[in-house]
Chain A
Amino acid sequence: DAGVTQSPTHLIKTRGQQVTLRCSPISGHKSVSWYQQVLGQGPQFIFQYYEKEERGRGNFPDRFSARQFPNYSSELNVNALLLGDSALYLCASSLEGTPNSGANVLTFGAGSRLTVL
């Protein structure tokens, strides 16, 4: 069975540009979460979507947005890129709407590594 898949795996952008990252959850999983991981730090929560609705939002500026599609895949958009947006962007899926609660654990994709020049 395919795990969580993310694309692209690597990308380079310049300041002020916009980027769209894509994620396909594990088949049957209805929840998708996005995390940002800067080198040397743990993943930071950006968004969680469940059944196409936003269920959680972290402390990120409005330049960050996301959505979930009817097939449960998701996109993360970042506008007006800053140097500080350079990071590994991780998508994680879980079966139900409350990830990491009981048996409903997060499974991560390999991530999209964004470099902003």
Chain B
Amino acid sequence: RKEVEQDPGPFNVPEGATVAFNCTYSNSASQSFFWYRQDCRKEPKLLMSVYSSGNEDGRFTAQLNRASQYISLLIRDSKLSDSATYLCVVNERSTNAGKSTFGDGTTLTVKP
């Protein structure tokens, strides 16, 4: 079983749709959580951190459920420019604290 698992998709949605991505992690010692965005053949870029209380940044909402070891990302009013792969990232509270564990990503295509 992978340490961080995501539904690979692809998710194909029309502009204006609301779409949700889920991510589960296996290590209960995980400490920090993030969503990164990766455009085709580009480097990953930080989209947002995920806090225990949930957090929102414009059209994007991230939530964390530590008990279920589950992270989510909600995108409202999807834009064509939201088309990308969304990577769930988890950091452990361990001696290997420099390691970030990435999921394999969920691909989103927003269509006109």
Per-residue interface assignment for chain A, residues 29 to 51, with 1 indicating a CB less than 8 Å from any chain B CB and 0 otherwise: 00101010000111111001010
Q: Please determine whether B104 and A98 come into contact, CB atoms closer than 8 angstroms.
A: no
Max count, chain B CB within 10 A of own CB: residue among A42, A44, A97, A109: A42
Q: Please determine whether B105 and A105 come into contact, CB atoms closer than 8 angstroms.
A: no
Q: Please determine whether A48 and B98 come into contact, CB atoms closer than 8 angstroms.
A: yes
Q: Does A25 sit at the interface, judged by CB under 8 A?
A: no
Q: Does B87 sit at the interface, judged by CB under 8 A?
A: yes
Q: Tell which of A31, A33, A58, A102 touches B32, judged by Cβ atoms closer than 8 Å.
A: A102
Per-residue interface assignment for chain B, residues 20 to 41, with 1 indicating a CB less than 8 Å from any chain A CB and 0 otherwise: 0000000000011010000000
Q: Does A100 sit at the interface, judged by CB under 8 A?
A: yes
Q: Does A21 sit at the interface, judged by CB under 8 A?
A: no
Q: How far is the CB of A104 from chain B (nearest CB, A)?
A: 9
Within 8 A of A (CB), among B26-61: 31-32, 34, 42-46, 49
- B→A interface (CB under 8 Å): 4, 31-32, 34, 42-46, 49, 87, 89, 91, 96-105
The contact sample of 25 A-B pairs, CB cut-off 8 A, is A33-B98, A41-B104, A41-B105, A42-B102, A42-B103, A42-B104, A43-B44, A45-B99, A45-B100, A48-B98, A55-B97, A56-B97, A56-B98, A56-B99, A98-B97, A99-B91, A100-B34, A100-B91, A100-B100, A101-B31, A101-B97, A105-B34, A105-B46, A105-B49, A110-B42
